[in-house]
Structure 1
C-alpha cells in the first residue's frame, strides 16, 4: 500500500539516529587517555650526548 511508505522512512530514520548516537557514545568512551601521551619514560631532548 502506498500510504505505508512514510512509515518505512520513519523506521530508517530511527535506525540511523540510534546507530549515530551509539557511534558517538562509543567514540567518547574509547578515546585514548591523555596520560599515555605524557608518559614519564620519555627521553629528555635537552641533554647533550656528545663529549667536548
Structure 2
C-alpha cells in the first residue's frame, strides 16, 4: 500500500467514525431535549 492509499484509507475510517459519532450525539441530544421539554415546559418549536 502506498502512502497515498494509506492516507485515503485512514480518511475513510475517520469519516465513518465521525458519522457514527454525530449520529450518537444527535440521538443523545434529541433524547435529552425531549425529556427536558416533557418534564418542565411545553415542547419548543422545531428550528430546523
Same fold (TM over 0.5): yes
Determine the structure 1 residue equivalent to 2:17.
11
- TM-score normalised to the size of structure 2? 0.60
- TM-score normalised to the size of structure 1? 0.56
Determine the structure 2 residue equivalent to 1:29.
35
Uncovered stretches (5+) of structure 2, i.e. residues with no partner = 1-5, 43-48
Uncovered stretches (5+) of structure 1, i.e. residues with no partner = 35-52
Superposition RMSD on alpha carbons, in Å?
A: 1.4
Superposed CA deviations along residues 11-52 of structure 1, whole A, max 9, x for unmatched, are 000110000000100011101245xxxxxxxxxxxxxxxxxx
| Corresponding residue pairs, total | 34
Q: Structure 1 or 2: larger helix share?
A: 2
Runs of 4 or more consecutive aligned structure 1 residues displaced over 2 Å after TM superposition: none
